[in-house]
Amino acid sequence: MNHLDPIRHVRGESQYLDDVPVQHGTLYAAVVESPVAHGKLLTVDATAALELPGVVHVLTARDIPGENQIGGIVPDEPLLAEGHVHFRGQPVALVLAETEHAAHAALAHVRVEIAPLPIITDPRVAAAQGELLVPPRTFRIGDSEEAWAGCAHVFEGVAESGGQEHLYIETQGAYAFPTEMGGVRIISSTQGPTAVQRHTAHVLGLGMHQVEVDVTRLGGGFGGKEDQATPWGALAALGAFVARRPVKLVLDRMADMRMTGKRHPYSSDFKIGLSADLKIVAYEVTFYQNGGAAADLSPAVMERTLFHSTNTYFIPNVTATAYSCRTHLPPNTAFRGFGGPQGMFVIESAIASAAERLGVPATEIQRRNLLREGDLFPYRQPAEGCHAEQAWDTAAELFDLPARRREVDEFNRTHRWQKKGLAVMPICFGISFTKTAMNQARALVHIYTDGSVGVSTGAVEMGQGVNTKIAQVAARTLGISVDRIKVESTNTTRVANTSPSAASATADLNGKATELACLALRERLLQLASTELSMDYEGLHIENEQVLAAGKPANTSWEKLVSAAYWQRVSLSENAHHATPDLHFDATTNQGYPFAYHVYGTALTTVQVDCRRGTYEVQAVQIAHDFGQSLNPAVDRGQIEGGAVQGIGWMTLEELVYNEEGRLLSNSLNAYKIPDLYAAPKVLDVHFLDTPGHSRAVMRSKAVGEPPLMYGIGAYFALRDAVRAFNPDSTISFSAPMTPEKVLVNLHPEFTPTPSDAWNSPA
Ligand code: LUZ
Ligand code: MOS
């Protein structure tokens, strides 16, 4: 079965926020941003702006009727700046005007006066000054301190990974309408409708029942709309609340890039100890996370970095510490992988460092230390249903790792100015929100009297195909065709108290709730069929698969039965709740059972570098991935391909540059390069491993959203391999992204780059 949406997408028929027909009387909002990264806010003077034609209101913190606070984990973030500004691009005021043009034209006429204060952009500097967003955390197993003495080899180093712009195709935005009785209805481009509802209610001083949030679909989220869709929803709602008119607020691309947080850059210290036979005995790592100016989701991201600090390896002695550092950048936030990729980059750097210094292939160390069934993660959950070795061995055999290695070496022997590189990247990703309480979901299923079905859940469709999967779950469970099912918009009045669509867990959580609701309806209908109607009803009982496989429209007896149920006054609606069983985690000991299960896989990456220019090509990414029993191989393959390419972008081309004043210099697609058709791998193979899936996964189809991003880490190490083939003495640092400029400098260390003048020239 294909994804339900693409034909409409391609025809431009799908409705996104900006396609919602504009209601008469709508005002347009534009955001006045702080022009400096840190300072004392002296005045916000809107007099001149208010004299411009079409300008209706300029709202500041003083106009907020409730509490000026949108912090999630920590209450440290105002909706509109008050007293101080903490990052460049921080919302200071909101202009409301009759047209979009008038609103934007007014921005420059709002006079904002700020007394500048010192600016920190480096997380290590922040940590040294005690600027932490939350106290540090340490995950510990065994005793690494004791273990060093017993190691044959110990290596230390530093690893750095950069941020990443989400670059969802649809920018942030919201459209808010005042409702009768003083409430608001918000159409929001958010992964977290409940977060928009909760914070808007708080800001407006309303009950949550007075705020309705509706989401049809997003043009991408990638984590950027898990928490950071909230300010735009709340600002539009504030405008609608004050003006008593509909208010539409959509960020343009450059405003979105300037004002919103991104993937967290990390700077980390590692120390790895190995035995003579290359077993990893001990690992110590300290992460400095660049959190930006407010906590946002940084503490949770930092925690997931710790969870994934050993990737897919068993290490008996681990001490992993993380600092979430406050800097004067926009608050960094969730991004596909949620800190996991950053943690995994460091352990892979440590292994590469050891391998290079010992003169052995990194793959020797990697393969020898893969997790096995029952091995403990540093947080004491055992690896259950562990497919780490299966994934590696399948990939190595299927894609012939020894032959790939020989080909690369042979090519490098015979070519002077072109070099190839190869890396293997095994992954392991824990599925569940690490905050146990968030692992719950509800579904509301209505069967209409004609036998058609409407399903509402908390899942937000953002291109990932969750609605397709939910429709499949309902169809399979009820034994009817998918055409009879509509997955409705995500609306806080139909399904309340939802977790965001995040953590790769959306299909599992909402799919399971859908399955439960459909099972209850099916039981009820079966009972009716057997007792009340003495119907010999087979369509529902079994043969569901056959009915679907035969491509028959809904079994006619389904309609008969549904109609009978109505006339017998049997309810045709069901609301079900699912909570992932068995999860627990103690955040004081950092031990427990936080994940429903883990997803495994392995990628082989081959690159070729032009050693005169530093330019490169990712030739092949060949993946063996653990999908379990895939509900939808087409959708799942798409997630792997997109995730891998997005990960390659993070590791290679995508370079966020802020200057020392905290100004984003890579502020448009002229200056921020994401993978395009040319940068995508020439070959991208995805092999579906034969694995049973997990009973905690929806219909044993394992979560697939975030894990593949981490295959992209292989591209960094493959490039490093190619650089070292050209220049074996290279003292190349573990620093991603490995841009062509960086490759060039590492190929030719005698070539001294000029300081980044280009970046510092006035924009
Ligand atoms: N969001 C969240 C996430 O709130 N908790 C998580 O554990 C998580 N993991 C991945 C992505 N988003
Ligand atoms: Mo996400 S990083 O699962 O919103």
Instruction: Assess whether pLDDT exceeds 90 at residue 759.
Output: no
Predicted confidence band of residue 753 (pLDDT cuts 50, 70, 90)? low
Going by CA atoms, what residue is nearest to atom 3 of ligand 2? 502
DSSP assignment letter at 331: P
Domain assignment present for 136: yes
710 lines ligand 2 (CB under 6 A): no
Instruction: Tell me, in angstroms, the distance from the centre of ligand 2 to residue 232's CA.
Output: 18
Distance of alpha carbon 433 from the chain centroid: 12
How far apart, in whole angstroms, are the C-alpha atoms of residue 325 and residue 298?
A: 9
pLDDT per residue as tens digits for the range 622-662: 999 999 999 999 999 999 999 999 999 999 999 999 999 99
The closest ligand to the CA of 228 turns out to be 2
Give the tokens for residue 110. Answer: 């709002």
The closest ligand to the CA of 224 turns out to be 2
Going by CA atoms, what residue is nearest to atom 11 of ligand 1? 503
503 lines ligand 2 (CB under 6 A): yes
Predicted confidence band of residue 532 (pLDDT cuts 50, 70, 90)? confident
338 lines ligand 2 (CB under 6 A): yes
**Closest to 297 measured CA to CA, from 464, 133, 69:** 133
Going by CA atoms, what residue is nearest to atom 4 of ligand 1? 433
Domain assignment present for 362: yes
Give the tokens for residue 556. Answer: 């006619």
Query: CATH number, domain at 73?
Result: 3.90.1170.50
168 lines ligand 2 (CB under 6 A): no
Question: Are residues 607 and 731 both part of a single domain?
Answer: yes
- Residue of 230, 338, 599, 709 to mutate, ligand 2, most atoms within 8 A of C-beta: 338
Instruction: Tell me, in angstroms, the distance from the centre of ligand 1 to residue 60's CA.
Output: 32
Question: Are residues 30 and 111 both part of a single domain?
Answer: yes
509 lines ligand 2 (CB under 6 A): no
pLDDT per residue as tens digits for the range 688-720: 999 999 999 999 999 999 999 999 999 999 999
Question: Are residues 186 and 155 both part of a single domain?
Answer: no
From 346, 369, 392, the end of a domain falls on 369
Give the tokens for residue 13. Answer: 């028929």
The partner residues of 97 in beta bridges, in order of sequence, read: 28, 55
What are the CA-CA distances from residue 663 to residues 88, 289, 656, 750 (Å)? 6, 19, 11, 31
- What is the average pLDDT across 147-174? 98
pLDDT per residue as tens digits for the range 421-437: 999 999 999 999 999 99
The partner residues of 656 in beta bridges, in order of sequence, read: none
What is residue 463's predicted lDDT score, i.e. its pLDDT? Answer: 96
Going by CA atoms, what residue is nearest to atom 6 of ligand 1? 433
From 196, 228, 259, the end of a domain falls on 259
The closest ligand to the CA of 297 turns out to be 1
Domain assignment present for 99: yes
- What is the average pLDDT across 83-89? 98
What is residue 529's predicted lDDT score, i.e. its pLDDT? Answer: 86
The closest ligand to the CA of 304 turns out to be 1
Indicate the SS3 state at residue 224.
Answer: coil
301 lines ligand 2 (CB under 6 A): no
706 is catalytic: yes
pTM greater than the 0.80 cutoff: yes
Domain assignment present for 1: no
Which residues lie below 8 Å from residue 377, measured CB to CB, with a gap of 6+? 141, 307, 310, 383
223 lines ligand 2 (CB under 6 A): yes
pLDDT per residue as tens digits for the range 57-67: 999 999 999 99
pLDDT per residue as tens digits for the range 274-321: 999 999 999 999 999 999 999 999 999 999 999 999 999 999 999 999
434 lines ligand 1 (CB under 6 A): yes
Residue type for position 577: H
Domain assignment present for 376: no
- Residue of 164, 165, 190, 222 to mutate, ligand 2, most atoms within 8 A of C-beta: 222
Which ligand 2 atom is nearest residue 505's CA? 3
595 lines ligand 1 (CB under 6 A): no
Q: Which residue has the tokens 């004791």?
A: 146
How far apart, in whole angstroms, are the C-alpha atoms of residue 451 and residue 483?
A: 11
How far apart, in whole angstroms, are the C-alpha atoms of residue 562 and residue 296?
A: 47
Question: Are residues 233 and 322 both part of a single domain?
Answer: no
The phi and psi torsions of 595 (rounded to 5 degrees) equal: -110, 140
191 lines ligand 1 (CB under 6 A): no
What is residue 763's predicted lDDT score, i.e. its pLDDT? Answer: 39
Which ligand 2 atom is nearest residue 503's CA? 3
N-to-C CA span, the chain:
49
Domain assignment present for 445: yes
Instruction: Assess whether pLDDT exceeds 60 at residue 758.
Output: no
Instruction: Tell me, in angstroms, the distance from the centre of ligand 1 to residue 307's CA.
Output: 12
Q: Which of 373, 617, 706, 750 is catalytic?
A: 706
226 lines ligand 2 (CB under 6 A): yes
Instruction: Tell me, in angstroms, the distance from the centre of ligand 1 to residue 436's CA.
Output: 11
What are the CA-CA distances from residue 36 to residues 108, 377, 563 (Å)? 15, 43, 65
Q: What b-and-e string marks burial along 47-68, b requiring 16 or more CB atoms within 10 Å of the CB?
A: eebeeeebbbbbbbbebbebeb
- What was the ipTM of the complex prediction? 0.94
Give the tokens for residue 40. Answer: 């004392």
Domain assignment present for 585: no
Instruction: Tell me, in angstroms, the distance from the centre of ligand 1 to residue 494's CA.
Output: 23
Find the helix or strand (DSSP H, E) in which 616 lies.
strand 616-625
Question: Is residue 48 within 8 Å of residue 6, measured between CB atoms?
Answer: no
The CA-CA-CA angle for residues 341, 633, 677, to 5°, reads 60
- Structural domain boundaries enclosing 548: 440-579
Question: Are residues 71 and 209 both part of a single domain?
Answer: yes
Instruction: Tell me, in angstroms, the distance from the centre of ligand 1 to residue 503's CA.
Output: 4
Question: Is residue 515 within 8 Å of residue 236, measured between CB atoms?
Answer: no
Instruction: Tell me, in angstroms, the distance from the centre of ligand 1 to residue 691's CA.
Output: 25
Indicate the SS3 state at residue 469.
Answer: helix
Give the tokens for residue 561. Answer: 């039965």
**Closest to 709 measured CA to CA, from 560, 580, 603:** 603
Indicate the SS3 state at residue 316.
Answer: coil
Give the tokens for residue 202. Answer: 């708080």
Question: Is residue 159 within 8 Å of residue 349, measured between CB atoms?
Answer: yes
Question: Are residues 29 and 81 both part of a single domain?
Answer: yes
The partner residues of 28 in beta bridges, in order of sequence, read: 97, 248
334 lines ligand 1 (CB under 6 A): yes
600 lines ligand 2 (CB under 6 A): no
How far apart, in whole angstroms, are the C-alpha atoms of residue 655 and residue 671?
A: 9
Which ligand 2 atom is nearest residue 336's CA? 2
Give the tokens for residue 477. Answer: 């469970």
How many domains does the structure of the chain reveal? 4
Question: Are residues 146 and 282 both part of a single domain?
Answer: yes
503 lines ligand 1 (CB under 6 A): yes
Question: Are residues 419 and 567 both part of a single domain?
Answer: no
Instruction: Assess whether pLDDT exceeds 90 at residue 47.
Output: yes
State the number of CA atoms in the 13 A half-sphere of 198 facing the CB. Answer: 14
Going by CA atoms, what residue is nearest to atom 4 of ligand 2? 223
Q: Which residue has the tokens 């347009």?
A: 28
Number of neighbouring beta carbons within 10 Å of residue 376: 16
Instruction: Tell me, in angstroms, the distance from the centre of ligand 2 to residue 504's CA.
Output: 7
Instruction: Tell me, in angstroms, the distance from the centre of ligand 2 to residue 303's CA.
Output: 14
Q: Which residue has the tokens 């110590």?
A: 284
Question: Is residue 745 within 8 Å of residue 731, measured between CB atoms?
Answer: no
- Residue of 297, 307, 429, 501 to mutate, ligand 1, most atoms within 8 A of C-beta: 297
From 534, 558, 579, the end of a domain falls on 579
Instruction: Tell me, in angstroms, the distance from the centre of ligand 1 to residue 319's CA.
Output: 23
Question: Are residues 319 and 397 both part of a single domain?
Answer: no
pLDDT per residue as tens digits for the range 107-119: 999 999 999 999 9
Per cent of the chain over pLDDT 90 is 92
Domain assignment present for 220: yes
Question: Are residues 604 and 708 both part of a single domain?
Answer: yes
The phi and psi torsions of 199 (rounded to 5 degrees) equal: -70, -35
Residue 635, judged by CB atoms within 10 A of its CB (0-12, 13-18, 19+), counts as buried
**Closest to 134 measured CA to CA, from 87, 71, 191, 228:** 71
- Residue of 73, 307, 434 to mutate, ligand 1, most atoms within 8 A of C-beta: 434
The partner residues of 446 in beta bridges, in order of sequence, read: 454, 573
The closest ligand to the CA of 226 turns out to be 2
- Residue of 226, 228, 709 to mutate, ligand 2, most atoms within 8 A of C-beta: 226
Indicate the SS3 state at residue 320.
Answer: strand
Which residues lie below 8 Å from residue 359, measured CB to CB, with a gap of 6+? none
Question: Are residues 428 and 499 both part of a single domain?
Answer: no
What is residue 538's predicted lDDT score, i.e. its pLDDT? Answer: 53
- What is the average pLDDT across 44-64? 98
Instruction: Tell me, in angstroms, the distance from the centre of ligand 1 to residue 335's CA.
Output: 9
How far apart, in whole angstroms, are the C-alpha atoms of residue 253 and residue 251?
A: 6
**Closest to 676 measured CA to CA, from 701, 653, 703, 708:** 653
| Size of the chain in residues | 763
- Residue of 73, 304, 509 to mutate, ligand 1, most atoms within 8 A of C-beta: 304
Query: CATH number, domain at 332?
Result: 3.30.365.10
Taking only Cα atoms into account, the Rg of the chain, rounded to an integer number of angstroms, comes to 27
Indicate the SS3 state at residue 607.
Answer: strand
Instruction: Tell me, in angstroms, the distance from the centre of ligand 2 to residue 357's CA.
Output: 36
pLDDT per residue as tens digits for the range 544-603: 444 444 444 444 689 989 999 999 999 999 999 999 999 999 999 999 999 999 999 999
Question: Are residues 429 and 458 both part of a single domain?
Answer: no
